[in-house]
């Protein structure tokens, strides 16, 4: 059995494990991962869920929001993460437009994430109004993660990235959304950008594990965007982000030191250079000596 860097045993996480965690009251850990290297580090650290979030549109590809990323672009990253993840449950985000029309299209796209990308579940934003399509995808044997509250794919409808569920009507709608997803049999529900009190109410109401991001500490698990965790996002972090490292500073420091070493001719040094085998060097020396002798 392999161990995490702090010596905990690692085991394969499935949708069933996630469900057990809620009943055992063991917090579920989740991070986004977008490429092979970070997926490996996240997996080897023993994080339960590696989520290939469509937030990669912004964090990795520099798009303004998540709306323009395509299924093919997402798949490129899901495949890379698949190659890096062994034990974590791999969830892939369905991008905007890939499940908003005919449910046959949604099933076709979700199937691509499983067959081509190796995802073990897909995530779709929306509650009551998406529940029919979510049910169809689950019927096609693909576990679905729900996502309600501040759903970034609805940015234009919400009029910005605003905390949701602040009025009584909004709370009522969120509860209906959560219950609809629970009844549909989703694997987990991501709760984003809602008051702590509402996160706690939903978590207590549904049997499905909830995973919060800006939804307070009472959810069954927590997720952060990897780039937020390590300070690789440019600009001020959201209120709910806790930075655990400063990778941006580390990268800048390393790049500046590299540049300075090239300019001062300290990189590479002799130990960092390849050398000719002794016999080749000796033969070359002989040839060069003869050439010099002829030229004189």
Nearer to ligand KIV, 180 or 191 (CB): 191
DSSP the chain: --B-TTS-B-----HHHHHHHHHHTPPEEEEE--SHHHHHHHHHTT-SEEEE-TTHHHHTT--SSSTT--HHHHHHHHHHHHHH-SSSEEEEEPPTTSSSS-HHHHHHHHHHHHHTT--SEEEEEBSGGGHHHHHHHHHTT--EEEEEES-GGGHHHHTSS-----SHHHHHHHHHHHHHHHHHT-SEEEEES--HHHHHHHHHH-SS-EEEESS-TTSSEEEE-HHHHTT-SSSPPPTT------HHHHHHHHHHHHHHHHHTT-SS-GGGS----HHHHHHHHHHHHHHHHHH-
Q: In terms of CB distance, is 10 or 97 closer to ligand KIV? A: 97
Comparison of 10 and 73: residue with beta carbon closer to ligand KIV = 73
Q: Does 38 bind ligand KIV (CB under 6 A)?
A: no
179 to 208, contacts with ligand KIV by CB under 6 A?
190, 192
Q: Scanning residues 80 to 139, which ones bind ligand KIV (CB under 6 A)?
A: 93
Site for ligand KIV in 45-64 (CB under 6 A): 53-55
Measured from the CB atom, is 56 or 201 closer to ligand KIV? Answer: 56
Candidate residues 32, 109, 164, 208; the one interacting with ligand KIV per rule CB under 6 A: 32
Catalytic residue list: 192
Question: Pick from 106, 121, 225, 229: which binds ligand KIV (CB under 6 A)?
Answer: 225
CB of residue 44 vs ligand KIV: minimum separation in angstroms? 20
Q: Does 13 bind ligand KIV (CB under 6 A)?
A: no
Q: Per CB under 6 A, does 18 bind ligand KIV? A: no
Catalog residues that contact ligand KIV under the rule CB under 6 A.
32, 53-55, 93, 147, 190, 192, 213, 223, 225
């Amino acid at each position: 059995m392999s161990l995490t860097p702090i010596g905990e045993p690692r085991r394969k996480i499935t949708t069933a494990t996630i469900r057990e965690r809620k009943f055992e009251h063991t917090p579920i850990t989740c991070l986004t991962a977008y490429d092979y290297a970070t997926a490996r580090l996240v997996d080897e650290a023993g994080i339960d869920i590696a989520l290939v979030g469509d937030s990669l549109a912004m964090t990795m590809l520099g798009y303004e929001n998540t709306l323009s990323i395509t299924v093919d672009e997402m798949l490129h990253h899901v495949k890379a993460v698949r190659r890096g993840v062994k034990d974590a449950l791999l969830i892939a985000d369905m991008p905007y437009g890939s499940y908003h029309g005919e449910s046959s299209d949604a099933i076709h796209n979700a199937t691509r994430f499983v067959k081509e990308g190796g995802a073990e579940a897909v995530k779709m934003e929306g509650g009551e109004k998406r529940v029919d399509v979510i049910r169809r995808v689950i019927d096609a044997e693909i576990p679905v993660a729900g996502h309600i509250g501040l759903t970034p794919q609805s940015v234009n409808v919400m009029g910005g990235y605003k905390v949701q569920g602040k009025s009584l009507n909004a709370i009522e709608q969120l509860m209906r959304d959560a219950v609809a997803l629970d009844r549909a049999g989703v694997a987990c529900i991501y709760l984003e950008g809602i008051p702590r009190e509402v996160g706690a109410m939903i978590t207590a109401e549904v049997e499905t594990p909830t995973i919060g991001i800006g939804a307070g500490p009472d959810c069954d698990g927590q997720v952060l965007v990897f780039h937020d965790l390590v300070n690789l996002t440019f600009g001020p972090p959201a209120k709910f982000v806790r930075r655990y490292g400063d990778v941006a500073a580390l990268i800048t420091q390393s790049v500046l030191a590299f540049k300075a070493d090239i300019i001062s001719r300290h990189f590479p040094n002799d130990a960092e250079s390849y050398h000719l085998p002794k016999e080749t060097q000796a033969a070359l020396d002989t040839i060069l000596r003869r050439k010099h002798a002829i030229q004189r």
